[in-house]
């Protein structure tokens, strides 16, 4: 039966008859692969099978021209052997395939309303904020002019805001909308994203939200509070202070830390862990702590290059941060925040609280690995106080 199923999948692909195919419930847990999603797209006048590999921490894409039958067949065969669940959505049918541990296959088919296949790979981006609409808060922030047109030099910032709102919308599924949602934004700075999140959550999604921005620049805090007052954003406020000194009495639902330098991101993580925040977002920068400790004799062929050492330090630091969050009961991953063409600070650590259990083995393994590099991290030292 396996041969017949694979043959059917290949026929659907070569006949351009697949809207979506999903391979999930992956057998090999060591791969840390959640699922693979495939769809047909047109790239340079050729139909491709585009596969999105969703790993626990990263997402990878690959495109295979459907005329390359041998490559397509090998790939589908590999995915078939990896997945216990396969779902195929064709023009007029939904096919669910379940494969047991012993490779016993069951197939369930359901006829659906015919739906044309779209091969559009470069369709116009649908923004959360309409670039043709006038937004008073974007005017106050200098992103739109008084006529409501995006200022040319701020267009990348406008795209960044919309990408950020995509993540914000996803995060709302983890929050209790029946009560007021409290969000802390550490290192809010000029607060483009803070104002955008407040507007979107309160005016578009109609949620009861309170956002507090915290920063060390007094003049920026005053300016942001003035704008919030002018816009009548009553539950948006900004306070002067250091992240490490901030205390609160209310329940904190979500903690955001964007572009906090060096260990300031770690302090935000520690605060979120202590409060058991439901959601944590961070886009770190300036990971100097690890960079300053790495010795060139560890992988000298790599670390003799300053730019490689810097990137390695960034990846190592953020991977440790993500695993610390996992240890404290979060489902954490690292995704691209915005294209590297717009900013090099483009790694978003995203974490959703799933349990209050603490996995000490994860922390122990991290310590052992860092010890092998003769590296110490502030975050790992401090989280011990929370256990």
- Residue 183 three-state SS: strand
Minimal CA–CA distance to 140: which of 217, 202, 225, 256? 225
How long is the chain?
387
For the chain, domain boundaries:
2-111, 136-386
| Architecture field, domain 136-386 | 3-Layer(aba) Sandwich (3.40)
Mean pLDDT of the chain: 89
The residue ranges of the chain whose pLDDT is under 50 are 123-124, 340-343
Q: What is the pLDDT of residue 343?
A: 47
- CB count within 10 Å of CB 369 equals 13
Q: What is the pLDDT of residue 168?
A: 93
Q: What is the pTM of this model?
A: 0.68
Q: What is the pLDDT of residue 346?
A: 72
Output phi, psi for 161, to 5 deg.
-60, -45
Strand-by-strand arrangement of the 93-99 sheet: 59-65, 46-55, 33-43, 18-26, 83-90, 93-99, 105-111
Q: What is the pLDDT of residue 116?
A: 60
Minimal CA–CA distance to 290: which of 323, 317, 267? 317
Q: Which two tokens mark 285?
A: 């920068």
- The structure tokens 């922390």 sit at 363
Burial of 145 (0-12, 13-18, 19+ CB in 10 A): middle
Q: Distance between CA atoms of 373 and 295, rounded to whole angstroms?
A: 8
Q: Distance between CA atoms of 66 and 43, rounded to whole angstroms?
A: 11
- Residue 103 three-state SS: coil
């Amino acid at each position: 039966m396996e041969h017949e199923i694979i043959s059917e999948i290949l026929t659907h692909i070569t006949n351009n008859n697949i809207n979506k195919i999903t391979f999930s419930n992956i057998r090999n847990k060591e791969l840390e692969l959640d699922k693979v999603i495939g769809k047909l797209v047109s790239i340079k006048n050729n139909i491709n099978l585009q596969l999105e590999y969703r790993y626990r921490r990263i997402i990878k894409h690959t495109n295979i021209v459907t005329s390359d039958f041998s490559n397509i067949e090998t790939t589908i065969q590999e995915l078939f052997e990896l997945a216990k669940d396969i779902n195929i959505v064709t023009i007029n049918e939904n096919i669910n395939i379940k494969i047991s541990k012993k490779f016993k296959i069951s197939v369930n088919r359901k006829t659906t309303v015919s739906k044309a296949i779209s091969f559009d790979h470069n369709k116009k981006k649908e923004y959360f904020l309409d670039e043709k609409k006038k937004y008073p808060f974007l005017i106050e922030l200098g992103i739109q002019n008084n006529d409501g047109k995006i200022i040319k030099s701020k267009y990348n910032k406008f795209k960044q805001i919309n990408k950020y709102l995509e993540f914000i919308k996803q995060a709302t599924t983890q929050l209790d909308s029946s009560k007021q949602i409290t969000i802390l934004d550490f290192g809010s700075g000029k607060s483009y994203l803070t104002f955008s999140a407040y507007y979107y959550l309160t005016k578009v999604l109609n949620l009861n939200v309170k956002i507090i921005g915290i920063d060390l620049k007094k003049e920026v805090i005053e300016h942001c509070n003035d704008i919030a007052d002018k816009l009548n954003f009553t539950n948006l406020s900004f306070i002067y202070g250091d992240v490490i000194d901030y205390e609160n009495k209310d329940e904190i639902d979500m903690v955001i830390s964007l572009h906090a330098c060096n260990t300031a991101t770690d302090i935000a993580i520690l605060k979120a862990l202590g409060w058991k925040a439901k959601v944590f977002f961070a886009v770190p920068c300036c990971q100097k702590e690890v960079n300053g400790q790495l010795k060139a004799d560890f992988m000298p062929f790599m670390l003799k290059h300053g730019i490689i050492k810097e990137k390695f330090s960034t990846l190592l630091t953020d991977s440790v941060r993500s695993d610390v969050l996992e240890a404290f009961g979060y489902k954490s991953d690292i995704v691209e925040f915005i294209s590297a063409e717009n900013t090099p600070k483009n790694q978003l650590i995203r974490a959703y609280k799933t349990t209050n259990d603490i996995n000490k083995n994860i922390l122990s393994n991290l310590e052992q690995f860092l010890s092998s590099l003769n590296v110490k991290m502030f975050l790992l030292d401090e989280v011990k106080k929370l256990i």
